[in-house]
Amino acid sequence: MRYGALKIALIYVILSLVWITFSDQALVYLLNDTNSHLILTFSTFKGFFFILCTGVFLFFLIRSDDKKLKQSESQYREMYESNHTPMWIYDAETFNIVSVNEAASKLYGYPPDEFLKKRMTDLAMPDQQNCDKSSVAEMHLQNACGNSCHVKADGSVFYLNLSLRDIQFNGKPHMLAMVRDMTAQILYQQSLDKINRDLQEEKKKLSETQLISKVAGWEFYPAANNLIWSDEFYEIFGVSKEDKRPAFEIYVSHIFPEDRDLMLKGLHELVTKGKQMDVTHRITAIDGSMRYVRQLARLESVAPDVKVVGSAQDITELKTLEIERNKYLYNFEDTLNSISDAFFALDHDMRIIRINEAFRQMTGLPTAAVLGESIFTIFPKERNRFYPYYQRALKERVITKREDYSEVLDKWIRMAAFPTNDGVSVYFSDISEDKEKDIKLKEAVERYELVAQATHDVIYDMDIVNDSIIYNTSLTHLINIPFDQIQYNLAWWRSLIHPADAAEVVASQERVKRLRKTNWECEYRIYCGNGEYKYVMDQGYFVFNEQQEPIRLIGAIRDIDALKRSIQENKRLADIIKRVNNMIVVTDREEKITWVNNAFEHITGYTLSDIKGRLPYDVLSRPDAKEPLSAEFAEKLNEHKPFTTDMVIYTAENQELWVSAEFTPFNDGNNRYNGYIAVYQNITYRKEKEMEIQRQNNFLRELAWMSSHQMRRPVATMLGLMNLIDIADKEEDKSEILPMLGTSIREMDEIVHDIHTKINDALHNEPINPEPNKN
């Protein structure tokens, strides 16, 4: 508007000056000889004509400029109203919103008329309105922009970037607010921050995982003999961080000497031939323990810049388990040979791949003649009634069982076939005697009745079909329940069983019935009245009908409460003894070893199987000792009284240990001496410290003696000679004294040198004479 008015004024001034200048000159030129009255008339007409023309010109010029101004205002209004950027105008003093565009109304969800009723601070979150008012005021003063949170009409919160600008609206100062929705960007940034935090957490977890899985990475540069390992290496493999030697030298020094060549050879072949390294060796950790390490490495670059990348894993536990597994395999073979059932294993082609001693005895065939042969060589197919059950166990992968008569063995056999990864495992039990038991059942029951009269065992006969039980009179000795409250059915009897044991009793009976076995036994607790339970051993015999259904259970119940609780107490005490850190040795009345605890085996290196039955003093004494047991010590043992003494013992590796031994005798039930329980406490460290203190005391005494005696003599001599020099009048006398003074000084120097030498020897742990030199 200001620039349009100036333009019009300039045009008017220029036209006026041009008209005045040239019109007067033209009038004078044209009317040179005319009278003044005519000139005045033309001059007046010229003025009227100029005013008329300039008025018309100004009218059209101002109207054109006004039209352009209105068009510009309309365009700006249209740009404001239809702009996709949410905008509104508010009063800078009252914060009242006076104008809003469609985009802002659509963004916030308020109709335009409702939006105009809002104040600037009403758009902020309720708990931030006061804070938002101050921040808006600050932005208002600075014409700045910033991020904030606003609430829409539906109550949802979104993030926005608010920009404020000064404007004139209706002739008054107002503020133009422009909003950019930042919700997506801020949520993306928050998500990105969370991802970064998660990555940091994962990195931390990876380091923890490496520690848990005991895996550490390393790099080796052969040209520089430079080994670089991760921080986890120190903790996993027990390597000291204080050691300043090169890493490769440190690691090689920790490898067992027997395994060192194997490790270096594998590394050499990797570097020279590119052969991937996979070596397992042992190392000595900083605490002295042995660990198994598996090293995997590969070449990442080739000559001349060779780089080896590898990983080391502590597989000590795995190796220990492997050793234990091999031991269990041997034990498994021993177990198979120790069981009474005949055992043989078949592969998928029905060839025998393993047998036990009972099978060799049952068939009378040697191992070499059986292994690798078809089962039909020993048991012809046409006479092998168990073959279909082998096949079913192999194909359907289920356990099959069968009782039948074997024509080849001439025995009644109970067979059980179990599917395995290799094929089928089969167990044969000779049940010929069990079949005969059915015939002698009645006789056995009568014998039980006779036994019942001489014992407090409860004999019972349960009729499974009719749910009735018959007890003998010993029931009242076992349970303290009035006779008239005793019931004779299974439900009542099971109600007496301890709730924690009832399920196992029922399950064990169902298991025996399902397997068509006859013998059943179970330990459980039974209610005996007055809130007390007792442990009992229930042993029964199932009787089956022709359809192999159980119809009777005949059994005996024995009170084993005292024995059970005694065994539990013994187990608890034994477990405590096994776990203590002190060495424990138990001897019999002949002073021979009968038992040692785990701590003894771990510290001395002797296992119980190695030293059982030997005298502990022969085992723990120096190998070249002529008299392993002193007379004084033997006398204390023969007194069969408790005593304590400090002594030296030697391990299996001939390592000397100082121990404080406490010997306690124990007696049997008749109060007769039955042996000693000796508890050894390792006091080697304490003894070493005592010897070190003694050595230092001897050394200090010797230094004190040398200082007070040997140094005193030359010092006294020098003092006497100095006095003689002071009182000598002649130079000749002084000259005679000076050589003697030099001799004393040299003697003094030798003594100081000897003291210095002894101190150096002591610092290097060289032995020091325990008695001072008095010569």
DSSP assignments along 250-296, one per residue = HHHHHB-HHHHHHHHHHHHHHHHH-PPEEEEEEEE-TTS-EEEEEEE
Mean pLDDT score, 224-234 = 79
The CA–CA distances, whole Å, from 766 to 513, 685, 699, 755 equal: 80, 20, 11, 14
**10-24, 175-189, 411-425, 584-598: range with lowest mean pLDDT:** 10-24
Mean pLDDT score, 118-125 = 80
The CA–CA distances, whole Å, from 551 to 222, 448, 461, 465, 506 equal: 82, 19, 11, 6, 16
Mean pLDDT score, 699-720 = 72
Provide the b/e sequence for 296-315 (b: ≥16 CB within 10 Å).
ebebeeeeeebebebebbbb
Instruction: Rounding to the nearest 10 degrees, give the CA dihedral for residues 478, 483, 489, 495.
Output: -60
What CA–CA distance (Å, rounded) separates 240 from 245? 11
Mean pLDDT score, 77-96 = 80
Decide which of 220 and 237 is more confident.
Answer: 220
What CA–CA distance (Å, rounded) separates 89 from 101? 9
**185-194, 288-297, 395-404, 620-629: range with lowest mean pLDDT:** 620-629
- The sheet with strand 157-169 has its strands ordered as 97-100, 87-91, 172-181, 157-169, 145-151
Name the pairing type of β-strands 215-221 and 172-181: unpaired
- Predicted confidence at residue 767, as pLDDT, reads 47
**Arithmetic mean of pLDDT over the chain:** 79
- Kindly indicate the confidence band of residue 129, based on its pLDDT and cuts at 50, 70 and 90: low
Give per-residue pLDDT as tens, 477-523. 788 888 778 888 888 888 889 999 999 999 998 998 888 888 999 99
What CA–CA distance (Å, rounded) separates 495 from 493? 5
464 within 8 A of 550, measured Cβ to Cβ:
yes
- Predicted confidence at residue 304, as pLDDT, reads 67
User: Which residues sit opposite 583 in a β-bridge?
Assistant: 680
Q: Is the pLDDT of residue 139 over 50?
A: no
Residue 507 host element (H or E): helix 499-514
- Phi/psi region, residue 109 (left: phi>0; alpha: psi -120 to 50; beta: rest), is left
Phi, psi of 154 (to 5 degrees): -85, 5
